[in-house]
């Protein structure tokens, strides 16, 4: 009897693990899919940028580089808030912090500014 119960529990545990593999973790970072499949990940990845007064630094593949610094055989020629530009020989390559996500300008009419004291007009008018 105990052998049947043990086999049943093992079968249930094995099937539960197989079902859980199909679920995606909602707290997973945006580019975690590339980490799951290293062959699909880009060979050079911009991870962070620091821009301060008189200082521009980027982290690429875990390596801290400054403007004019080297990443392999490429030279960092420009550092922006979300991208850096590399020159490799005569070729230019742009590494973006959020690859595949482009910033688009907002179109349409700008929102109206609302005064903080706009609601107090009606209250003043009702006082006697």
Residues 11, 31: Cα–Cα separation, whole Å: 34
* pLDDT tens profile 94-127: 999 887 777 777 877 766 766 666 555 555 555 5
What is the Cα 10 distance to its own chain's centre? 40
pTM: 0.49
CA–CA separation, 68 and 77 (whole Å): 6
Q: List the strands of the sheet with 46-52, edge to edge.
A: 46-52, 55-60, 63-66
CATH no. for 40-99: 2.30.30.830
How many CB atoms lie under 10 A from the CB of residue 3?
7
For the segment 4-59, what is each residue's pLDDT rounded down to a tens digit? 877 787 776 666 555 555 667 777 766 555 555 555 445 788 999 999 988 999 99
* Sequence ranges of the domains in the chain: 40-99
């Amino acid at each position: 009897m105990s052998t049947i119960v043990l086999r049943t529990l093992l079968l249930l545990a094995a099937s539960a693990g197989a079902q859980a593999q199909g679920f995606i973790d909602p707290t997973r970072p945006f580019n975690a899919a590339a980490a799951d499949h290293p062959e699909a990940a880009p060979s050079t990845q911009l991870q962070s940028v620091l821009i301060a007064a008189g200082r521009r630094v980027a982290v690429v593949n875990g390596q801290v580089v400054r403007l004019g610094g080297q990443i392999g055989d490429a030279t960092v020629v420009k550092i922006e808030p979300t991208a850096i530009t590399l020159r490799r020989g005569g070729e230019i390559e742009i590494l973006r912090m959020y690859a595949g996500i482009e910033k688009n300008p907002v179109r349409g009419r700008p929102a109206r500014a609302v005064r903080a004291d706009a609601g107090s007009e009606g209250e003043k008018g009702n006082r006697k």
